[in-house]
């Protein structure tokens, strides 16, 4: 989270300059009268410049905001946080699952010929109507021999070459993806079918001395039961890139292959690592097959699609030679495309003046209809106070309001404001490896001793809400029935007393001759977190807990404390996504050094839920499991969950949404946010009027 610093002191000269500049810049009203072009240009203030205008390579918010206007993905989130078609006009998800035939196993009906397996299995499971109803087809895949190689281990990158004599397999095509599909089959076949599979007969190292090293990879090389989810996208046929070249499935395949290119440096490789294969089925149809169950995968196809015809290897070699660069090491990141992008989006790239501005112009041929604005400009204004002054003067059209300003701006008739909770939350995390925090009741008592209201009232100026669990409050995954811990210092002290902690002569809690003392740390440069340290420290002092607080520079904080797991407790926050997958933050396998479960939370039942959530494709089932996980983590209190801060954006009231009726007649509506607070979702329909419109009570 970026926290704006409060200006405490300015030299008199600078104050005079800022004050005078406010009056020197014409107000928006005067700009509109003297310059009608200002009505058709949207100016966005940004604290930082973009880094690269290529969606598969960018990792900063400024670049992403431009890329979102220049490029389209196959899908994106609609106003209700559900996926909607974009360059893909539709898609279907289904599953292909395979079962390796173990002919040496003892089978319920005795030995079964390969060709008899489908009918035998159907007969055995015909009573399971849900299973048979979901089954589209079964076929036998004949045995085959393939060559392969695999890294010896994570620490040993040397490759082991092997020969796989793949036994026959059954291929099941399912109507819907089902992580429990194999359960009835396993019950019928028995555990020995899988536990005693003779891998060594089928997987042989080309160099016999390496056979032992290969043993740990048997199940990876020859999976016995494999889920292969499939997404088939039907693409729009009416889309062209900004240079007029038609968009097709080859561009989608090229974008995926560019992300996964071993020579590339895309930060998004992990999003596509679960893909097993990508296959073009026609000019406007593409099939993506996954090597395992991973429901968050669908979201990766919101990635902006690149134009293959401009960025092939041949084109990169030509560019490298023309610029006097070595073609052997010249990559997509080196290409001028990152400074002059061409996509299919609603705006075309026009100009980039580093550290000054990026200018886009309207795409009149946009497949969804041309935007109302003719021009979009991102102005780079690093100083927040200057951004504020420019907004007052009408030189920029947006302003991110600081918490202490919200009340004042809410009564100003010139502006429309939009407050949203967003995906971020703050918390106190306890290192559960420390015996002080090993007991769940102790962690609950620590949370009950903290009065959160002063944080919300005096630090956030009321611009925040309590949270109780690990999901963003605005999502369906968050369980609204879970109540925050009560502020109850007496109850907290009673809980600690019951655990053997008693106050000594100095007023500190003591047990077995040891004072309840620990360090609470956070990063410097964040005044909100610094103030939280003070409030929490005082809250705990009142019940006899000795808490020492420290601030560290961010890099030191991460390297020496968080990543190395050498801390007692810390104040931090998470900026979450829309997906319910919490594997990296909460699964017990992710609790090592330099991993995200740095508090060391380990709960076998939580692990089971987390794994099932990321493998579940049925949304209602995901919601039920996610809320169960929320309740479980809220009960265990590995964090004291604090709050989610509101984010408030200001716009001039003259900016409206234009709605076009079937007959071509246009009407104006107030701008309104989506479920998660996005106001730019409707940006292509925004228009700036010369005067503030009058709306009917309904709109």
d(CA 600, CA 527): 27
CA distances from 630 to 326, 467, 480 (A): 53, 11, 10
Contact 549, 537 (CB under 8 A): yes
Range 424-645: architecture per CATH? Roll (3.10)
Residue 619: how many other CB atoms lie within 10 Å: 12
Which residue(s) pair with 627 in the sheet?
Answer: none
* pLDDT of 430 strictly over 50: yes
CB hemisphere CA count around 517 (13 angstroms): 8
Q: What does DSSP say about strands 639-645 and 424-430: parallel, antiparallel, or unpaired?
A: antiparallel
Backbone angles phi, psi at 425, to 5 degrees: -145, 155
In 3-state terms the chain splits into helix, strand, coil percentages (rounded to 5) of: 35, 25, 40
Q: Give the contacts of 506 (CB within 8 A, at least 6 positions apart).
A: none
pLDDT band at 142 (very low <50, low <70, confident <90, very high): very high
* Residue 140 · residue 118 · CB < 8 Å: yes
Q: How far is CA 130 from CA 133, 174, 180, 558, 597, in A?
A: 5, 12, 11, 50, 37
Q: Are 561 and 571 in contact (CB under 8 A)?
A: no
Q: How confident is the model at residue 447 (pLDDT cuts 50, 70, 90)?
A: very high
Q: C-alpha angle with apex 576: 572 to 579, nearest 5 degrees?
A: 150
- Average pLDDT across the chain, whole number: 91
**Global confidence as pTM:** 0.87
The DSSP element (H or E) to which 24 belongs, if any, is: helix 12-24
CA 555 – CA 575 distance, rounded (Å): 18
Q: Is the pLDDT of residue 478 over 80?
A: yes
Burial class of 614 by CB neighbour count within 10 A (0 to 12, 13 to 18, 19+): buried
Place of tokens 């234009």: 658
What is the percentage of the chain residues whose pLDDT exceeds 70? 94
Ranges of H-type helices in 113-191: 117-124, 129-134, 182-189
pLDDT bracket for residue 697 (50, 70, 90): low
Q: In which residue ranges of the chain is CATH 3.40.190.10 found?
A: 12-71+345-420+649-688
Give the model confidence (pLDDT) of 240-284 as tens digits: 999 999 999 999 999 999 999 988 889 999 899 999 999 999 999
Phi, psi of 452 (to 5 degrees): -75, -25
- Residue from 650, 648, 645 nearest 388 by CA: 650
- Looking at residues 88-114, what average pLDDT do you find? 89
Structure confidence at residue 9 (pLDDT): 32
Which segment, 22-31, 495-504, 650-659, is predicted with the most confidence on average?
Answer: 495-504
Residue pLDDT, tens place only, 533-571 = 999 999 999 999 999 999 999 999 999 999 999 999 999
CATH topology of domain 12-71+345-420+649-688: D-Maltodextrin-Binding Protein; domain 2 (3.40.190)
HEC sequence for 389-409:
HHHHHCCCCEEEECHHHHHHH
- In the structure encoding, which two tokens stand for residue 83, read together? 């996926």
DSSP class of 370? -
- Give dist(CA 312, CA 245) in Å, integer: 14
578-599 pLDDT, tens digit each: 999 999 999 999 999 999 999 9
Specify whether the CB–CB gap between 603 and 463 falls below 8 A. Answer: no
Token pair in block for residue 397: 């059209």
Report how far residue 72's alpha carbon sits from residue 301's, in angstroms, rounded to the nearest whole number: 10
Distance from C-alpha of 388 to C-alpha of 22, rounded to nearest angstrom:
10
Is residue 418 within 8 A of residue 648, CB to CB? The reply is yes
Torsion, Cα of 75, 77, 80, 82 (10° steps): 50
Give the per-residue pLDDT at 14: 35
pLDDT in tens, 593-626: 999 999 999 999 999 999 999 999 999 999 999 9
Local confidence band at 91 (pLDDT 50, 70, 90 cut-offs): very high
Residue range 457-468: average pLDDT? 93
Q: Are 178 and 194 in contact (CB under 8 A)?
A: no
C-beta separation of 143 from 166 below 8 A? yes
Radius of gyration of the chain (CA): 30
How far apart are alpha carbons 418 and 292 in whole angstroms? Answer: 41
Report CA-CA distances (Å) from 665 to 645, 659, 660, 661. Answer: 40, 8, 6, 5
pLDDT score at 251: 98
Q: Which of 423, 445, 682 is nearest to 573 (CA)?
A: 423
Tokens 């690269």 identify what position? 52
pLDDT band at 154 (very low <50, low <70, confident <90, very high): confident
Which candidate, 141, 224, 225, places its Cα nearest to that of 178?
A: 225
* pLDDT greater than 90 at residue 685: yes
The pLDDT assigned to 466 comes to: 96
- Bridge partners for 428 per DSSP: 571, 640
| Residue found under tokens 């992990």 | 270
Which residue spans of the chain are classified as CATH 3.10.105.10?
424-645
Cβ neighbors of 277 (< 8 A, separation 6 or more) are: 288, 289
How far apart are alpha carbons 313 and 329 in whole angstroms?
12
318 to each of 244, 251, 337, how far by Cα in Å? 21, 20, 13
Distances (CA, A) of 648 to 101, 400, 651: 59, 6, 10
Checking if the pLDDT of 25 tops 60, the result is no
Contact partners, residue 278, CB within 8 Å, separation at least 6 = 252, 253, 256, 257, 286, 287, 288, 289
Beta bridge partners of 100: 169
Model pLDDT, residue 156 = 82
Contacts (Cβ under 8 Å, ≥6 apart) of 684: 346, 366, 368, 369, 371, 372
The first and second tokens of residue 639, run together, are 């964090």
170 sits in which H/E element: strand 169-174
* Residue 306: closest CA among 257, 368, 377, 358: 257
């Amino acid at each position: 989270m970026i926290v704006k610093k409060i200006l405490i002191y300015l030299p008199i000269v600078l104050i005079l300059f800022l004050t005078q500049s406010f009056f020197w810049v014409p107000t928006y009203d005067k700009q509109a009268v003297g310059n009608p072009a200002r009505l058709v240009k949207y100016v966005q203030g940004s604290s930082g410049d973009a880094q690269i205008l290529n969606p598969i390579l960018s990792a900063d918010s400024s670049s992403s905001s431009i890329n979102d206007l220049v490029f389209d993905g196959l899908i994106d989130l609609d106003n209700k946080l559900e996926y909607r078609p974009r360059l893909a006009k539709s898609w279907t998800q289904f599953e292909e699952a395979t079962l390796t035939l173990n002919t040496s196993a003892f089978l319920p009906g005795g030995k079964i010929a390969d060709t008899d397996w489908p009918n035998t299995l159907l007969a055995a499971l015909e009573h399971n109507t849900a299973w048979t109803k979901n089954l589209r087809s079964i076929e036998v895949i004949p045995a085959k021999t393939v060559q392969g190689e695999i890294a010896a281990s994570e620490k040993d990158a040397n490759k082991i070459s092997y020969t796989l004599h793949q036994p026959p397999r059954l291929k099941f095509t399912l109507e819907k993806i089902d992580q429990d599909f194999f359960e009835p089959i396993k019950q019928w076949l028995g555990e020995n079918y899988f536990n005693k599979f003779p891998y060594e007969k089928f997987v042989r190292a080309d160099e016999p001395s390496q056979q032992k090293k290969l043993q740990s990879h048997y199940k990876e090389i020859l999976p016995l039961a494999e889920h292969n989810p499939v997404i088939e996208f039907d693409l729009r046929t009416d889309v062209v890139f900004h240079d007029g070249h038609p968009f097709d499935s080859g561009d989608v395949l090229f974008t995926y292959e560019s992300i996964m290119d071993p020579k590339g440096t895309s930060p998004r490789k992990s999003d596509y690592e679960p893909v097993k294969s990508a296959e073009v089925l026609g000019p406007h149809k593409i099939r993506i097959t996954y090597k395992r169950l991973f429901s968050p995968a669908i979201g990766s196809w919101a990635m902006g699609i690149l134009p293959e015809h401009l960025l092939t290897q041949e084109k990169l070699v030509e560019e490298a030679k023309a610029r006097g660069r070595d073609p052997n090491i010249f990559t997509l990141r080196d290409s001028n495309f990152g400074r002059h992008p061409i996509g299919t989006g609603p705006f075309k790239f026009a100009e980039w003046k580093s550290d000054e501005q990026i200018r886009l112009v309207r795409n009149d041929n946009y497949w969804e209809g041309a935007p109302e604005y003719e021009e979009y400009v991102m102005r780079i204004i690093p100083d927040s106070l200057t951004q504020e002054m420019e907004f007052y003067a009408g030189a920029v059209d947006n302003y991110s309001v600081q918490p202490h300003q919200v009340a004042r701006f809410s009564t100003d008739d010139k502006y429309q404001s939009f407050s949203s909770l967003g995906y971020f939350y703050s918390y106190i995390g306890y290192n559960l490896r420390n015996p002080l925090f090993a007991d769940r009741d102790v962690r609950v008592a620590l949370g009950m001793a903290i009065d959160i209201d002063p944080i919300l009232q005096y630090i956030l100026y009321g611009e925040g809400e309590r949270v109780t669990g690990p999901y963003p409050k605005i999502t369906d995954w968050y369980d609204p029935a879970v109540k925050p811990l009560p502020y109850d210092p007496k109850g907290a002290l009673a809980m600690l007393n019951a655990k053997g902690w008693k106050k000594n002569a100095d007023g500190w809690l003591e047990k077995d001759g040891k004072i309840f003392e620990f360090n609470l740390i956070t990063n410097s440069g964040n005044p909100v977190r610094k103030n939280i340290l003070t409030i929490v420290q005082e809250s705990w002092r009142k019940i006899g807990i000795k808490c020492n607080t420290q601030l560290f520079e961010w890099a030191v904080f991460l390297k020496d404390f968080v990543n190395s797991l050498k801390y007692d407790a810390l104040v931090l926050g998470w900026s979450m996504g829309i997906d319910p997958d919490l594997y990296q933050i909460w699964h017990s396998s992710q609790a090592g050094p330099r991993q995200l479960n740095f508090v060391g939370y380990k709960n076998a039942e939580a692990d089971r839920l987390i794994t099932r959530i990321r493998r579940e494709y049925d949304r209602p089932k995901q919601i039920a499991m996610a809320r169960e996980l929320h309740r479980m983590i809220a009960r265990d209190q590995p964090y004291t969950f604090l709050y989610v801060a509101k984010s408030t954006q200001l716009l001039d009231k003259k900016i409206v949404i234009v709605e076009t009726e079937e007959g071509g007649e246009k009407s104006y509506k107030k701008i309104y946010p989506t479920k998660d607070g996005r106001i730019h979702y409707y940006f292509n329909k925004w228009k700036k009027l010369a005067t503030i419109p009058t709306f009917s009570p309904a709109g």
